[in-house]
Amino acid sequence: MGTAGLLMIALTACGGGDRPANASPTGGKAAPPARTTPQPTPSQAAARTPAQSAVQAVLSKMSVQEKVGQLFMPVLYGTAADTVSGENQARYGAQTPAKVIAKYHLGGVILFPHNIKTIGQVVGLTNGLQRAAEDVPLLVGTDQENGLVSRMAALMTDFPGASEIGATKDPELSRAVARATGLELRALGVNLDFAPVADVNVNPKNPVIGPRAFGADPRRVATMVAAAVKGFGEAKVGATAKHFPGHGDTDVDSHSGLPVIKHTKAEWEKIDAPPFKAAIEAGVDAVMSAHIVFPKLDSSGDPATLSKPILTGLLRERLGFDGVISTDALNMDGVRKKYNDGEIAVRAVLAGADLLLMPNDLPRAYQAVLSAVKSGRISERRLDQSVTRLLTLKQHRGLLTEARAASATEAARVLRSAEHRRLAAKVAREAR
């Protein structure tokens, strides 16, 4: 991949020597650590649902290295699981996507346009990635918001973006587009979409959100976001509301800078919070953090991604969200102003994040989190909380022990179907 391609990844999104796929990132064979997951009392075990018991059964068999690996979702290079790539070697110390997955016990992978060629090729890629996973299938994610941010645009129906859907004032269209988008993604083997955008675009100078949002009215955005979450759920694809606590009122792009939002707590409650509350009530699978400073919510100067008052205090405790908290891409400048790539990953976990998306230096970030667990800086209980949430999401989406294989024939039938093209045209008409 050329320099321009790498810069494109960096604007949304390291290396070491070659080692065997089953080696630890610090060299040598990874010694299986003791299984330290606390055993439940008989009364606790009896109170669990079958799904919870299944998750705990998987968790109890995982090593600390495997648990740490579940937290990470990097971008990999290649159009097949066995593609040999210098980028993979340079960044991760393993030549193929399959070997990177095995080396770091990855919990997920995110796809970008450089991974996308044809329907059959993507189906082969996602099936191959799942085969490379060890005992727990992968979350295979992408940013398919439709409109401006559409990583799968080369293959999927060209649906209007959120601003056009918002202009229709019809939440059923939001639900229908999300459902159709989810069905197309699922047919390709993608099971997690980093959508819908839940930001309220109240700043006309916003360089990063703009038409990606459903609009500037918090109530309308909340209604559209909730409908989209339900649509993704009907398609059996995970939905992610982003970017918490709200990226709508900024004139700085967090890919290249660190925005500061000056809303008071009362303004946050009125403007930014409603779409996230609506998403949670609708059963959203994940919420993505924003690399923004929000002084009235946390005076530390750290971005929300690294803020315990925001991720744990607001999102977990105040809004009651117990699903997966994903960071935005950890290679963005907005989160890399104060700390190195290892410290960023550790601080994100301590703040409350579960899914560490696109670390700038995966080997360093992985080792930092692993070392923090071994030293006690990140407690094993805290690690288990995140892994349990990730496994619960996989259980909910049918991925806990075996991933459904995608079919190229089925994908060809679903993608850009006449029904979906008619829906896209209807939204465009209604938005006028």
* 107/103 Cα distance (integer angstroms): 12
For 19, 24, 60, 225, 292, the CA distances from 15, given in Å and listed in that order, are: 12, 14, 31, 38, 28
Pick from 165-169, 225-229, 249-253, 422-426: least confident: 249-253
Q: Which domains does the chain have, with CATH numbers?
A: 63-430 (3.20.20.300)
Query: Mean pLDDT throughout 9-15?
Result: 38
Round to whole Å and give the CA distance between 166 and 153. Answer: 21
> Mean per-residue pLDDT for 69-84?
98
d(CA 388, CA 333): 30
pLDDT in tens, 171-202: 999 999 999 999 999 999 999 999 999 999 98
- In the numeric block, which tokens belong to residue 37? 């997951």
- Catalytic sites, residue numbers: 255, 328
- Cβ–Cβ under 8 Å, residues 294 and 315: no
pLDDT of residue 106: 98
Closest by Cα among 317, 307, 325 to 389: 325
Single pTM value for the model: 0.88
H-only helix segments in 258-338: 265-267, 273-281, 308
pLDDT at 253: 63
Placement of tokens 């991760």 in the chain: 92
**pLDDT mean over 109-115:** 98
- pLDDT-derived band at 259 (thresholds 50, 70, 90) equals confident
Q: What does pLDDT average to over the chain?
A: 89
Structure tokens of 201?
A: 């675009």
- The proportion of the chain whose per-residue pLDDT surpasses 70, expressed as a percent, equals 88
pLDDT digits (tens, 9 = 90+) for 196-224: 999 999 887 777 788 999 999 999 999 99
b/e map of 412-432 (b: 16 or more CB within 10 Å)?
Answer: bebbbeeebeebbebbeeebe
Nearest CA-CA partner of 345 in 337, 152, 354 = 354
Q: What is the pLDDT of residue 312?
A: 98
Does the pLDDT at position 15 exceed 90?
Answer: no
- What pLDDT, on a 0 to 100 scale, did the predictor assign at position 250? 77
- Segment 295-324 mean pLDDT: 96
Give the pLDDT of residue 260.
Answer: 87
- When pLDDT is averaged across residues 282-306 and rounded to a whole number, the result is 95
Reduce the DSSP state of residue 139 to 3 states and report it: strand
- Check whether 295 has a pLDDT greater than 70: yes
Lowest mean pLDDT among 246-250, 277-281, 411-415: 246-250
